[in-house]
């Protein structure tokens, strides 16, 4: 999903991030950049540190050491589980977070976001009544309310069916085309290959590779049509 | 912050069951307490077997006839008497549980009473009490009810007899009319006897043997007059051997029902505030919204403050409604409304702070609710343990533990606001403020690693 809007100036940069939980090291000196309009996938096995990296970039938890170039409020955050209130309607959720984000005209932003996410007809429905896919759309919409230059998504497609996934990636593609840097984590390496401009491979808290999916395949050789096999072989060669 | 508060109120509005519970709970509690305070316990049923022959219920003390039936009424003042004809019937009713116990007045009760008063050397009458001992609580109630009624009857009878004895002693001292067996006598009395003897003494030659004898009788009369003059006080002391004078060393005495109102209001305030604050904070984590909120939208401390505020906004009106309900049954001083509001607000903030500490530690709504119940109930019970009911050291420990939780100061504040009880309102409010700050700090630490 290479976009014309991508340029050289990083939309977000992380330098030498370390995160320790007691004696366990979840991140070990991870550095990383994403340019405006670029889509970056963070992939790796379970426990690699994907969610830890994204939550530090989002400002939910501080790193033990290292730097992040953006303030938390400059970054849109979409957690894996919809972080919205089931007892409130779609519009009420959006309105609440628009007010908390202190956007200029909350009502106008809510209306625009309902249109953008295709949820205008469900505006008055309580979140608890919506499907998992629609709830995830509201979750993403909340992350976009403040029109952030960077959007972070933690496993955004994990609870969606194929059709909903397709609509999600169309939506994300449109955002990137508009200049938003998108960083997402996923277990589905096929999605990473299809929709990401670059992949960041994490294993045991260490950044093993940053580059295009094609670059990873070229690094390990083999069948160029099977990115997942190349990814597994890459991890195996690196001792993971 | 206000948007979060608005959101929480919207969520509450969408939870009709919870809101109904919040409104219904204090109303039901207030009605129950009001009924309990205004009606008092029902009179227990006690079977009565009167074996006295008809017309044999009175006896004579000096010139006066006393009717035993009059004093038997003392026995029935706080019981619902069920009159039966025989001892067997009474036993049957006690055994079947129809009555709490039975009281048997023996056929010779009047005669024995008469003999006892006449110092005939017979034992006073013995009333027989029957009760069932299958249920210890029921046994205790039966024993204490009948014992206290017998004590009242004894007291009434003793009082009458004492008065009569005093009256006769006065006749002996002062003289006057006295009736016996339908005949009236004019009794000279010691004082008049002495006066007459003094008149006689003056007519006798000084130093004569007769004068000395009369003088000796006059001296005896004087001694008797001096000592019998004190007889009324002595008899009163015998009739009621122990006098009780109540002296309040410090503090303001609160009637039991007024204190019960303060306790019930504080318990309701505690439940509404603690459950709401703990549940709504835990809900933020359960809905995964916590991470989104604290990444720059609202500080962790701000979020805690909002939940404490929410608890106060809901709990204070709910308990005020409860007070209005209680006010239908029990007199409340509405002139102190501002103090009520201050006490309830202080209590709600203290309980709310405890609630957010629980919510921060528990992290999901069910665990938070369970923890809130498990913690607050024993704390409330401990806080109302009266001094003297447990060992001194244990009481000190209980007081120290109670001081670490908001129930005791909240109860003191509500009691001071409702009943002018001591300590006065500012002290418990300061205590609540300190506890609220401590619990907020604890909650903030517990939330440090939450995402």
Interface contact A82, partner B, CB < 8 A: yes
User: Which candidate from A71, A79, A84 shows the least CB-CB separation from B291?
Assistant: A79
User: Which candidate from B287, B295, B297 shows the least CB-CB separation from A85?
Assistant: B287
User: Which candidate from A73, A87, A92 shows the least CB-CB separation from B296?
Assistant: A73
User: Which candidate from A59, A71, A85 shows the least CB-CB separation from B7?
Assistant: A85
Question: What was the pLDDT predicted at A72?
Answer: 86
Question: What was the pLDDT predicted at B55?
Answer: 73
Same domain, B92 and B226: no
Same domain, B210 and B262: no
Same domain, B115 and B193: no
Same domain, B333 and B397: yes
Q: CATH number for the domain including B90?
A: 3.40.1710
Interfacial residues of B (vs A; Cβ cutoff 8 Å)? 3-4, 6-7, 10-11, 14-15, 287-298, 449, 451
Same domain, B424 and B300: yes
Mark the ranges of chain A whose per-residue pLDDT is less than 70: 1-8, 222-225
Same domain, B229 and B196: yes
Question: What was the pLDDT predicted at A8?
Answer: 62
**Inside any domain, residue B242:** no
- DSSP structure string for B147-209: HHHHHHHHHHHHHHHHHHHHHHHHHHHH-EEEEETTEEEEE--HHHHHHHHHHHHHHSPTT-H
Same domain, B330 and B422: yes
Nearest-neighbour CA in chain A from B296: distance (Å): 6
Q: Give A-chain residues touching B287 at CB under 8 angstroms.
A: 83-86
**Inside any domain, residue B268:** yes
Distance CA B121, CA B64 (A): 21
Given an 8 Å threshold on Cβ–Cβ distance, is A88 in contact with B293?
no
Distance CA B124, CA B158 (A): 13
**Inside any domain, residue B180:** no
Which structural domains are found in chain A, ordered by start?
1-70+149-240 (3.40.50.300), 86-148 (no CATH)
Handedness of CA A127, A132, A138, A140 (dihedral sign): positive
Same domain, B266 and B407: yes
Question: What was the pLDDT predicted at A3?
Answer: 44
Same domain, B215 and B330: no
Radius of gyration of chain A (CA): 18
**Inside any domain, residue B5:** no
Question: What was the pLDDT predicted at B111?
Answer: 80
**Inside any domain, residue B294:** yes
Greatest extent of chain A over all pairs of C-alpha atoms, in Å: 54
**Inside any domain, residue B328:** yes
Nearest-neighbour CA in chain B from A88: distance (Å): 7
Same domain, B300 and B217: no
Question: What was the pLDDT predicted at B250?
Answer: 46
- Residue B239 contacts by C-beta under 8 Å, 6 or more apart in sequence? B158, B159, B161, B162
Q: Which residue's structure tokens are 């008063």? A: B117
Question: What was the pLDDT predicted at B90?
Answer: 87
Q: Give B-chain residues touching A71 at CB under 8 angstroms.
A: 296
Q: Give B-chain residues touching A81 at CB under 8 angstroms.
A: 288
Count of the separate structural domains present in chain B: 3
**Inside any domain, residue B131:** yes
Question: What was the pLDDT predicted at B235?
Answer: 62
Same domain, B405 and B269: yes
Nearest-neighbour CA in chain A from B278: distance (Å): 17
Question: What was the pLDDT predicted at B248?
Answer: 46
Bridge partner list, B45: B80
Q: Give A-chain residues touching B290 at CB under 8 angstroms.
A: 83
pLDDT profile of chain B (451 residues), mean per 10: 83 75 68 59 76 76 68 69 88 80 81 69 75 62 71 75 77 75 73 86 85 84 76 58 47 64 91 93 91 88 95 94 85 90 97 95 85 86 74 82 94 91 90 97 87 66
Distances, alpha carbon A155 to alpha carbons A100, A185, B153, B330, in Å: 25, 5, 85, 61
Given an 8 Å threshold on Cβ–Cβ distance, is B297 in contact with A58?
no
| Bond before B423 cis per omega within 30 degrees | yes
Same domain, B304 and B436: yes
User: Which candidate from B10, B15, B296 shows the least CB-CB separation from A92?
Assistant: B10
B140 is in which domain, residue-wise? 45-171
């Amino acid at each position: 999903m290479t976009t014309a809007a991508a340029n050289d100036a990083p939309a977000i940069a992380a330098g030498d991030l370390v995160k320790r939980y007691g004696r366990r090291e979840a991140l070990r000196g991870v550095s990383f950049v994403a340019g405006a309009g670029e889509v970056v996938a963070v992939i790796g096995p379970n426990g690699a540190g994907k969610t830890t990296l994204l939550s530090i970039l989002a400002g939910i938890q501080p790193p033990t050491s290292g730097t992040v170039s953006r303030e938390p409020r400059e970054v849109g955050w979409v957690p894996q589980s919809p972080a919205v209130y089931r007892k409130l309607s779609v519009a009420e959720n959006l309105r609440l977070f628009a007010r908390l984000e202190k956007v200029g005209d909350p009502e106008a932003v809510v209306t625009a976001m309902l249109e953008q996410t295709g949820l205008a007809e469900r505006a008055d429905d309580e979140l608890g009544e919506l499907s998992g896919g629609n709830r995830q759309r509201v979750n993403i919409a909340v992350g976009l309310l403040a029109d952030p230059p960077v959007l972070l998504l933690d496993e955004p497609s994990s609870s969606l069916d194929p059709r909903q996934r397709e609509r999600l990636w169309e939506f994300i593609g449109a955002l990137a085309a508009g200049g938003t840097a998108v960083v997402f984590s996923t277990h589905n390496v096929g999605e990473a290959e299809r929709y990401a401009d670059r992949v960041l491979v994490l294993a045991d808290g260490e950044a093993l590779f940053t580059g295009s999916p094609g670059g990873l395949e070229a690094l390990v050789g083999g069948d160029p049509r099977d990115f997942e096999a190349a990814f597994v072989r890459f991890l195996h060669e690196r001792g993971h | 912050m206000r948007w979060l508060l608005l959101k929480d109120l919207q969520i509450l509005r969408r939870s009709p069951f919870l809101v109904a519970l919040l409104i219904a709970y204090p109303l039901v509690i207030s009605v129950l307490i009001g009924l309990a305070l205004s009606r008092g316990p029902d009179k227990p049923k006690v079977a009565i077997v009167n074996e006295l022959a008809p017309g044999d219920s009175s006896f004579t003390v000096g010139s006066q006839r006393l009717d035993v039936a009059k004093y038997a009424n003392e026995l029935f003042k706080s019981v619902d008497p069920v009159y039966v004809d025989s001892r067997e019937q009474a036993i049957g009713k006690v055994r079947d549980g129809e009555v709490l116990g039975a009281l048997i007045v023996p056929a010779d009760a009047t005669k024995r009473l008469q003999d006892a008063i006449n110092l005939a050397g017979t034992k006073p009458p013995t009333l027989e009490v029957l009760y069932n001992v299958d249920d210890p609580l029921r046994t205790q109630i039966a024993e204490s009810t009948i014992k206290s009624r017998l004590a009242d009857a004894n007291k009434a009878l003793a009082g009458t007899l004492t008065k009569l004895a005093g009256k006769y002693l006065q006749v002996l001292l002062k003289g006057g009319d006295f009736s016996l067996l339908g005949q009236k006598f004019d009794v000279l009395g010691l004082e008049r006897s002495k006066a007459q003897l003094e008149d006689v003494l003056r007519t006798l030659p000084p130093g004569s043997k007769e004068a000395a004898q009369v003088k000796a009788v006059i001296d005896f009369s004087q001694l008797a007059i001096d000592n019998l003059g004190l007889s009324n006080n002595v008899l009163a002391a015998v009739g009621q051997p122990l006098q009780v004078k109540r002296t309040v060393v410090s503090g303001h005495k609160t009637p039991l029902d007024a204190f019960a109102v303060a306790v019930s209001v504080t318990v309701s305030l505690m439940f509404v505030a603690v459950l709401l604050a703990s549940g709504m904070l835990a809900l933020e984590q359960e809905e995964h919204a916590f991470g989104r909120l604290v990444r720059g939208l609202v500080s962790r401390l701000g979020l805690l403050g909002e939940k404490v505020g929410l608890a106060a906004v809901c709990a204070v009106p709910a308990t005020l409604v409860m007070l209005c309900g209680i006010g239908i049954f029990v007199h409340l001083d509405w002139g102190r409304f501002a103090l009520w509001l201050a006490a309830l607000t202080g209590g709600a903030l203290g309980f709310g702070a405890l609630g957010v500490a629980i919510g921060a530690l528990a992290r999901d709504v069910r665990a938070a609710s369970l923890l809130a119940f498990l913690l607050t109930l024993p704390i409330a019970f401990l806080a109302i343990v009266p001094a003297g009911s447990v060992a001194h050291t244990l009481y000190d420990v209980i007081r120290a533990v109670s001081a670490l939780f908001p129930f005791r100061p909240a109860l003191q504040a509500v009691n001071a606001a409702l009943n002018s009880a001591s300590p006065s309102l500012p002290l418990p409010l300061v205590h609540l403020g300190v506890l609220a700050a401590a619990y907020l700090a604890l909650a903030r630490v517990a939330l440090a690693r939450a995402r």
